[in-house]
Each structure stands twice: as structure tokens, then as C-alpha cells.
Amino acid sequence: MNGSSSLRLYLDISALVGNWNVLNRITAGACGAAIKANGYGLGAQSVKTYLAQAGCRDFFVSSWDEVRRLGSLDSGLSLSVLHGLREEDLSYALSVNARPVLCSPSMIQRWKNYAADRPCDVMVDTGMNRLGLTMEQAASGLLEGLKIENMLSHLACADEPDHPLNQKQLIQFQILFTKKQAKRYSLANSAGLFLDSAYHFDLARPGLALYGGIPSPKAEGVIKPVVSLSAQVIQVKDVTKGDSIGYGACFTASEKMRVAILHIGYADGYWRAFFQKGQAVKEGVPCPVVGRISMDMITVALPEGLAVQEGDWFSVDFALQKAAEQTGLSQYELLTSLGDRYQSIWHHP
Ligand SMILES: *Cc1c(COP(=O)(O)O)cnc(C)c1O
């Protein structure tokens, strides 16, 4: 993370803010932001600051530890903690102005015991079978006496627009919505808000699409990439025909070639699955990764005529949709595994 790192994460402020603006327009002004997992690896504090400047008011993290790392919250901003409230979270939770998303009867009892007069959020499980009260629990009287700001549920299959579970979950959520136990209702993540306006309710909670991920075909061309990777050349060398490169000697030069060793590897979220697929680019010239990905290094083949020396910088291809296809990893995994060796540079390109 220091200023002289040989790895850089370029983060496009205009794209981040532009993506939020697009999603806010699609949801007719009902767009929050999921900034859990350190803002999907980009830096939750910076993401929060830029999005708040753009007009975003509602933020979501996973845990109270993430609330702590985010630092103080400006007035007018709302922060919800998706994993709810453990006994050991209580004293911290009561000292800050974030709300737990209560998910279970025991969490609700805990909140009633210690903070009955304070606003909270509630998660109801409408069919994903992850966090949340059952529909029966939500209808049982358990929620009486709570000051519920947001009633949430989460979609299991929103990235498959035709999956029947979407409609089933929507119907369940509409039943909750008609009961008006909460001030606002929130169902859609990134993929969900691209489904149909029926899924928007009062507040959407996109994460992935803010950070340039493409959650749905409808997002293509609309959502702009935010993240690009840049890695410095450690060494340049000539390899003769028949020589192998890297661990396992998995690549053999079919002719004399020049290669550059770059400072990026699987410890930086540049996974071994990029073997035979990844590429880095210098001055618009693509250079394929050759040999296995090491922990801290990759080797790229230099086309004839491309002048490269130690200390030069390459941009490493990391277009999320394509990288996900190449590696078999999800766009979420690619973003959140970038690691902490990058120097983050927020910029307006
Ligand atoms: C992570 C998460 C989101 C954001 O999901 P994306 O698919 O990244 O848009 C929204 N709501 C909940 C409950 C989540 O856990």
C-alpha cells in the first residue's frame, strides 16, 4: 500500500460515480450501495466518500468490524450491518449510529432488551434460505415494538432473469410490503435492479455493478469498468528456442523470444487460472502471459519491436466479465481477492 509499490490499482472515480448515477436513475432515485468486504476490495472509505458526494445516502456493510474500519459517519448517511447483532457486538453497536439488520428471533430479542427505542433493519428470508426470519416468524408478532427502518430480503437468482425463484421471492416480498411494518422496503441487489421495476421498492442495494461488474446482460455497455491493474517490470530477458519458462516448465519457447517478468501474482488476486489466458498491455501492444502464474510474478512474451526495460509499467488485463470467463471465477471473487499490495490511485482518467 505504500507510495513506491510496484503494483497499482487505478480506480476510476467518474466510472464509480457514473455507475451509481445510472443505477439511481434506473431505480428512480432509490439507490444505496453495498460497501462490504472493504468496498469489494476497492476501499470502503473512499467508495463511501465518493458516492456520498454523488448523493448516495444508504450504505450496507457485513459486520460491526467493517463499521469500525469505515470511521465516523456523516450525518444524513445511513449504515446497515447485514449480519445483524451478536451479544459481543452490543456495546460497540450502541455507541455508533449504524443499524443492525436483525435476522433471527434471538437477535430481535437482544435488540428489544437493550435498544428497543432505537431504529433497526430486519431481514426476511423469502426463499434463498440464507439469512433472515421466515415469513411465518415475520407474521408472528415478533416484530411488534421494533422501530423498523428498512425491511430487507435478498434474491437468490437475480442474475438469471428467467429463474422462477425471482418471481416467487417477489410475491413473498410483496406480502411483507403490504403489511407496512417498516418505513422502507429493499429487495434488489445489482442483478435484481436490472430485472424489472417491480423489484425496486424503496431502496436497492447494489454492490457489484457499482464496481464495474456486469450482473446481467442488460448492464453491458451501461456499467463502466472502475478497476484497472498496473504492474512494473522487474526484469527483461532473452529466452532461446527450446527453453522452458516458470514453475513446472509448462511453457516452452518455440523460437527465440524476449520476455518481461512483472510484479503481480496470485497473492495479488491474479489467479493461477490466468495461465495460458491472461495478457498484459504496453503502449497498446498485448503481451500474452507465458508459463505459470507465481505468487508474486508473471512472465509475459514481448512481441518483436516492443521496447521494454526494467521499471516499465504494464497494464494487466482485468476486464471483469472476460476475466471471469477466462478463470471460471466469479466477478465478485476477482474483485475481492485483489489483496493489499497495491497502491490505490483514485483518479479521473
Ligand atoms: C452483497 C449483498 C448485496 C449486494 O449484492 P450485489 O450482487 O453485489 O449487488 C445486497 N444485499 C445483500 C443482503 C448482500 O449480502
pLDDT digit string, tens, across residues 293-307: 999 999 999 999 999
Q: How far is the CA of 339 from the centre of ligand 1 (A)?
A: 21
Both 239 and 142 in one domain: the answer is no
pLDDT, tens only, 211-253: 999 999 999 999 999 999 999 999 999 999 999 999 999 999 9
Both 48 and 134 in one domain: the answer is yes
- Within-domain flag for 171: yes
Q: What letter does residue 303 receive in the DSSP assignment?
A: P
Nearest CA to ligand 1 atom 3: 189
Q: How far is the CA of 116 from the centre of ligand 1 (A)?
A: 27
pLDDT in the model for residue 302: 98
- Catalytic, 247? Answer yes
pLDDT in the model for residue 267: 97
Total domains in the fold of the chain: 2
Both 255 and 200 in one domain: the answer is no
Distance CA 326, CA 37 (A): 24
Both 199 and 244 in one domain: the answer is no
269: domain CATH number is: 2.40.37.10
pLDDT in the model for residue 4: 85
State the cell numbers at 34: 453495498
pLDDT, tens only, 46-71: 999 999 999 999 999 999 999 999 99
Please report the atom of ligand 1 found closest to the CA of residue 215. 7
Distance CA 151, CA 123 (A): 6
pLDDT higher than threshold 80 for residue 168:
yes
Once rounded to an integer, what is the mean pLDDT over residues 327-338? 98
176: domain CATH number is: 3.20.20.10
Q: How far is the CA of 251 from the centre of ligand 1 (A)?
A: 40
Mean pLDDT value across the chain: 97
Once rounded to an integer, what is the mean pLDDT over residues 149-176? 98
Please report the atom of ligand 1 found closest to the CA of residue 159. 7
Distance CA 277, CA 300 (A): 11
Q: Buried b vs exposed e over 99-120: b needs ≥16 C-beta within 10 Å?
A: bbbbbbeebbebbbeebeeebb
Q: How far is the CA of 309 from the centre of ligand 1 (A)?
A: 43
pLDDT, tens only, 174-221: 999 999 999 999 999 999 999 999 999 999 999 999 999 999 999 999
Rounded percentage of the chain residues whose pLDDT exceeds 90: 97
Both 208 and 232 in one domain: the answer is no
- Within-domain flag for 283: yes
pLDDT higher than threshold 60 for residue 1:
no
Both 34 and 178 in one domain: the answer is yes
- Within-domain flag for 324: no
Q: Answer yes or no: are the C-beta atoms of 212 and 160 closer than 8 Å.
A: no
Both 189 and 240 in one domain: the answer is no
Both 48 and 143 in one domain: the answer is yes
Q: Answer yes or no: are the C-beta atoms of 78 and 59 closer than 8 Å.
A: yes
Q: How far is the CA of 290 from the centre of ligand 1 (A)?
A: 36
Residue of 179, 180, 237, 247 with catalytic role: 247
pLDDT, tens only, 265-283: 999 999 999 999 999 999 9
- Within-domain flag for 276: yes
pTM of the model: 0.96
Pocket mutation for ligand 1, best pick of 26, 82, 150 (most atoms within 8 Å of C-beta): 82
Please report the atom of ligand 1 found closest to the CA of residue 209. 9
Listed residues 165, 181, 213: the one ending a domain: 213
Both 236 and 201 in one domain: the answer is no
Pocket mutation for ligand 1, best pick of 59, 60, 79, 150 (most atoms within 8 Å of C-beta): 60
Once rounded to an integer, what is the mean pLDDT over residues 96-115? 97
Name the residue range of residue 44's domain. 13-213
- Within-domain flag for 252: yes
Both 78 and 172 in one domain: the answer is yes
Both 33 and 160 in one domain: the answer is yes
Please report the atom of ligand 1 found closest to the CA of residue 82. 13
- Within-domain flag for 273: yes
- Within-domain flag for 349: no
Rounded percentage of the chain residues whose pLDDT exceeds 70: 99
Annotated binding site for substrate: 130, 295
pLDDT in the model for residue 198: 98
- Within-domain flag for 345: no
Listed residues 172, 189, 213: the one ending a domain: 213
Q: Output the ligand 1 site: residues, CB below 6 A.
A: 34, 36, 82, 154, 189-191, 205-208, 215
pLDDT in the model for residue 135: 98
DSSP per position, 232-278: EEEEEEEE-TT-EESGGG-EE-SS-EEEEEES--GGGT--GGGTTT-
Once rounded to an integer, what is the mean pLDDT over residues 87-107? 97
Both 171 and 205 in one domain: the answer is yes
Residue of 36, 50, 211, 282 with catalytic role: 36
pLDDT in the model for residue 3: 60
